Structure 1
Amino acid sequence: ARAPRLVVQLSPTPLLPHRAVELFYLQHGHRANAFSVAFDPDLERFVSGRGVVAHATCRFLRTRIVFYDPLCAEEDLAALIDEFLTSARGHHVGFWKASQQTVAVVAERGFRIVGYGVDHEVPVPVALSGSAMRGLRRQVDKARKAGVAVTPLPAAEATSPIWRELEDLDARWLSSRALATRPFSIRRVTRRYARRRVEPHTTRVCARRRGRVVGWACLDHRYCEGVLCGVGLSGVRWDPEVGGVASLLAVEGAALVAAAHRRPLTLALGESPLALRRWEACAGASGCAPASGLQARGVQWSAALEALFRLLHERGGWLYNTAGISRWKRKWRA
């Protein structure tokens, strides 16, 4: 599990930072947001012999926010976080969308915590049988009966007509959003995709109905010790006039990647945003560690952030549809 660390230290010539980051990603990039940690152009990176920490700096507030989980071996996590905190002296530091392991480490270092969301991950191919999967199955069947077909998006020239079709689809999707009159993206929170190309370590899939593009999705590759072990659904867009397309893209897109690599994978859907309350986190319902482990370390919870997250989840649908996203992701819990 220490292969990247040895490669970085023993290479006869110094590795370029981006190559070192890619090595850690291929070795330890098994989480849903690992691709963003390694390659998101809006994030800065702290790179050491132990791993990679993705973060963003607000110089005006002298604050650094760490995004997602570091790319490193599990036994190096605490030491890597300590290295980053040392490098960030003089700044306020926060951690955003951290897993159980990272929460436990930063809690021991005095950070207040708050529940954010419930992780969702399912085996591929996705089993749609059973009463628990009824809602998801209905959505998939609805899209299939409407004649929607999902295919991989091949590497295409920037001038290919497919990119214009996807841009038109994006416009139709945005028109159905709450802020359609003033659409915008939030840097570092909203994933940015390369325009007119399929990024390395990702698979794009496209949905068509009667020849017309009605959806697309991006599946980020996830790796364990240099081997593809899963995909993460990082983005999906669909025509609001055709039902079930998002679910069909996720189900069949993941299956296409698994078939192409001839190996079982898992599909990570990410968190249900702002949907987790403290009692659920304490019960071990999410990526947060159970209360017995956290309270034993004298963990303090942030009541102010809890109240803000609850307010945004219950009344902030006009800004970001956290409740709708949470309902959709709950359909994947068999």
Structure 2
Amino acid sequence: MQPILSSPDAGTVAAPRRRRLLLALAAAPFAGALSFLPCAARAAQQAVIEGRDRWLFPAWESYVDDDTSACLKVVDLIGVAAGKLAAHGIRCTIVVAPLKARAAAGELPDGASLSPAVAQRYAAMLAHGKQAGLDFVDAAAALANVDTSQDSTYIRADYHWSAHTAEAVADATAEHLSATGALRGETTEPPALGDWTESMDYGDLATLLPPARKREIGKDRFIVREAPGDGGLLADAAPVVQVVGNSMVQPYLGFPQRLAHTLARPVGLKWTFGDTGPWKTLLDYLESPAFAKQKPQALVWQFNEGQMAYGPDASGQWDAASIIAEAPWLDRLEKALAQ
């Protein structure tokens, strides 16, 4: 059996429909909830920062405020969860998608830059995690492997990283999993990756602007892979590696497919929109029948840097149904792992 993505979330929808899934993250403010925005940001009068060359940045992710200490506390909680996973034979690898303002710092507004504290925050989290024995992938370093002559690291007027960045981070994740000896068993023939294709559409941040300004910002080039015939997906395969995260790792941008291709192993996927948060998303997977039936050897848990200061009880960041105090969250985690 070929390595595959084993999740209904990773279906073989055509590229235009998959693009609509991405745009579903950004309904206009007057049309309903912005499901990729933290709840607190939905009430903000200005949700977008305009940078150089018509680049857009999410205003709810500060590139100057120092919240490093809160982020390190969250790293500690991740460490507790990773320890519980390890006790049940599951290696946890953490991927933090860098702040868009970090990845495209040269496109920030004139005179703007990352504050020294924010500039050092990503490295501080990785160092803190390493000191605690956690498996952190340096996704910020992986940005250097993106061929920017073909694509940008993040999509100009969109919240998300580009598909080329998603693949570069997937390769770094696969290298990390292989180097740590997290996976057992034989590899098989890698699943095929589709050809690169290009389309023009408005980025999700552009859709937050007034119509006239949206037209001035213009459409973006979305360079993604076409899904091959069957998409390389077979829903009945047991994942060796399970990806749990948000829209950065959704199939449209190609992270799980590239991970399966590079590892030559079955990869499962559970992703939800950003307002659900990483804590509830992990519980949803661990409490699912799929996990009870077949536990993976490794779990790749993906976060966004801009949300790293917020634990499971962060009121105003996650939707109401996702908020849970830390102690009950850990209790549910332990119970799910023991099933």
Q: What TM-score, normalized to structure 1?
A: 0.28
Higher relative contact order (CA 8 A, sep 6+): 2
Higher share in helix: 2
Higher strand share: 1
Asked which structure has the greater CA Rg, the reply is 1
